[in-house]
Amino acid sequence: MHPLLTRNRLGLYLLGWIPLAATLVLLMTSGGNLSWLESSVIAIPLCAVYAFICLSAWYTAKSSPIKRESALRLIGVHSLAAALVSYFWMGLGWVLVASLSKTAAFQGLDRRFARQAPILLALATCFICSPWHRST
């Protein structure tokens, strides 16, 4: 089981995602295509889900520790894991946006979000590769 789930530290971990969600809202809004409300409705639920998805990096780090593996294998394993998880998160983002754009309040959101999607993908990859996830 993941150490955060066994040591009652999950609350602190989730609290650490608040600034990351706020940063994502700011970056998506600064592009000019999305309003604060639209960016918040997309970024906050996605960050809440991604906080739990990023816990999977611990298992990848545990299966390929730095001291035992070659640099090439480490880069390959962690890059592939980061890419797969990031694309999965992007897919969840598109599902959320497609669902929201069917409502009257967020009509056309899917077209406006398309220009912001690369920001989301880049941040997803950075979050999963962050040093928060070490194999202790």
* pLDDT digit string, tens, across residues 33-49: 889 999 999 999 998 99
pLDDT in tens, 49-105: 988 888 877 777 777 777 777 878 777 877 788 888 888 888 999 999 999 999 999
Q: Where do the domains of the chain lie?
A: 3-128
Q: What is the DSSP string of 59-117?
A: HHHHHS-TTTS-HHHHHHHHHHHHHHHHHHHHHHHHHHHHHHHTSSTTTTHHHHHHTTH
pTM for the model stands at 0.76
